Amino acid sequence: MANIASQRIKREFKEVIRSEEVARCSIKVELLDDNYSQLKGEIAGPPDTPYEGGKFLLEIKVPETYPFNPPKVKFLTKVWHPNISSVTGAICLDILKDQWAAAMTLRTVLLSLQALMASPEPDDPQDAVVARQYKGFPEIFISTAEHWTNIYAGGSRKKEEYSKKIERLMGIGCNMDQALVALSGCNWDLDKAIEQIFG
């Protein structure tokens, strides 16, 4: 790994560990290898959002050319958000693309992702289905995102109605992820979800 990249990550890793956000359990990083090219990040779902109470894991890959190019980051924890793919965890965020600047750090990246969770940008979506729901059915979006947070990230808010519908689908041979994606995408219309899966 290029000298400058590992030098930077060493320092940024320490910066995150010493930060007040860590003290508040709001962000976290972990090294996955000795040469500082792979890290695991974690951010807490921001308060007063559907993600509150959840812990979201991130995969962080540091390129050889860091910090001249941004780190490659994606969500490992499944999340329902217009700028994050509900299937792959890919993120649409300008600072991870053309708005990257060499002085940004792991800490600023993690904090920016937290900010993105708090304020989605549906006009620049990564997941078109989620973005459509966010704009057209805001209440459903919120409860869906809460439900996802409950299932995957350990959040406490969930809807009994949603759980029942998921069970119904699982009763006819779907797995849980499949059922959740189909129902969420159909605004929890059971017939449409069945049609989508089996039709």
Partner 1 sequence: MGYDVGRFCGSVDEELICPICVGVLEDPLQAPTCEHAFCKRCIHEWLNHQPVCPVDRQTITSVQLRPVPRILKNLLSRLTIMCENQSHGCSGIFKLDLLSSHLIECEHNPKKLIPCEQGCGFVVPKDEVKDHNCVRELRCTVQKQKQKINELQNQLSEHRFLINDLRRETSLLKEYMKVMRSTNPSVRAIVEEIERDEVVRWSNSLPRARVCRWGGMISTPDEYLQDSIKVALVESGCPSHIIDELMDNSHERNWPIGLKSLETRQSKRREYEKYICKRVPCKQAVVVLQIDNPLLDEDMMVEPGLVMIFAHGVE
- Kindly name the residue from 25, 92, 174, 186 that is annotated as catalytic: 92
Closer to partner 1 by CB, 12 or 127: give it. 12
How far is Cα 25 from Cα 42, in angstroms, rounded to an integer? 9
Sign of CA dihedral 22, 70, 45, 89: negative
Binding mask 26-65 for partner 1 (x = CB under 8 A): ----------------------------------------
Q: Does 7 bind partner 1 (CB under 8 A)?
A: yes
Binding mask 82-111 for partner 1 (x = CB under 8 A): ----------------xxxxxx--------
Q: Within 31-127, where are the H helices?
A: 106-118
Residue type, 165: K
Strand 38-44 versus strand 55-61 pairing type: antiparallel
Closest contact distance (angstroms) between CB of 118 and partner 1 is 22
Closer to partner 1 by CB, 29 or 169: give it. 29
Binding to partner 1, residues 61-80 (CB under 8 A) = 67-69
- Residue 92 annotated among the catalytic residues of the structure: yes
Q: Does 11 bind partner 1 (CB under 8 A)?
A: yes
* Helix or strand (DSSP H, E) at 15: helix 3-18
**16 contact partners, CB below 8 Å, separation of at least 6:** 22, 27, 28, 29, 105, 106, 107, 110
Task: Write out the catalytic residue numbers.
Answer: 92
Residues of this chain that bind partner 1 (CB under 8 A): 3-4, 7-8, 11, 67-69, 98-103
